[in-house]
Amino acid sequence: MYIPFDELPQQARVWIYQANRPLNEAEQAEIKPLLEQFATDWSSHGTNLQASAELLHDRFLVLANNENATAASGCSIDKSVNFVRELEQRFNISFFDRTQLAFLREGEVELVPMSELKNKVVAGDISKDTLYFDTLVTNYGELQAAWPRPAQQSWLSRYF
């Protein structure tokens, strides 16, 4: 069962997939109905999930499920991963490259290779206050309240 993204409960579980490039308007217009259809049909052991999906900042695909109603099973999570992989193939994009970190700088999403992070911190290009899109956020409330968040308030804190 589809739930509009802005009507999700705070504790709804989220999965965030970061694209390796921004999605253009035409791609977003094509993807959004696919997201809604996936969320509508997403189920766990034959029970429909109370799910939603959204594109954020032209780059992040967020899938969500109200776990209080029905928890996502391993099989349903596998279905979501397969759906994202299908989007990758259809749009020639990668949502599974975890070697790129996304920061909000001057209103734009900037990707930084993980291998360059330490040098960027030392050079002052990235500070503890630089806003970071932490894809490890696990619930809708946290996504709404603190995303992006200062890098120091994420797993990146060890670099400062």
Q: Both 10 and 81 in a single domain?
A: yes
* 139 assigned to some structural domain: no
- The per-residue pLDDT for range 47-72, each reduced to its tens digit, is 888 999 999 999 999 999 998 887 77
Structure confidence at residue 4 (pLDDT): 95
Structure confidence at residue 158 (pLDDT): 94
In the chain, which ranges are E strands?
13-18, 43-44, 47-48, 51-56, 60-65, 100-105, 108-113, 131-132, 149-150
More confident of the two residues 95 and 45: 95
Structure confidence at residue 47 (pLDDT): 81
Q: Which amino acid is at 109?
A: V
Closest C-alpha to 60, from 40, 92, 84? 84
Other Cβ atoms closer than 10 A to 145:
11
Residues linked to residue 18 through DSSP beta bridges, in sequence order = 60
Please determine, for residue 23, whether its predicted confidence score (pLDDT) is greater than 90: yes
More confident of the two residues 75 and 52: 52
Structure confidence at residue 1 (pLDDT): 86
* 66 assigned to some structural domain: yes
**Residue count (the chain):** 160
- Whether omega before 9 lies within 30 degrees of 0, making that bond cis, reads no
Q: Which structural domain, as residue segments, surrounds residue 64? A: 5-91
Structure confidence at residue 43 (pLDDT): 84
Instruction: Give the Cα separation of 99 and 120 in Å (integer).
Output: 15
- The per-residue pLDDT for range 96-137, each reduced to its tens digit, is 999 999 999 999 999 999 999 999 999 999 999 999 999 999
Q: Both 83 and 15 in a single domain?
A: yes
Q: Which amino acid is at 41?
A: D
* 19 assigned to some structural domain: yes
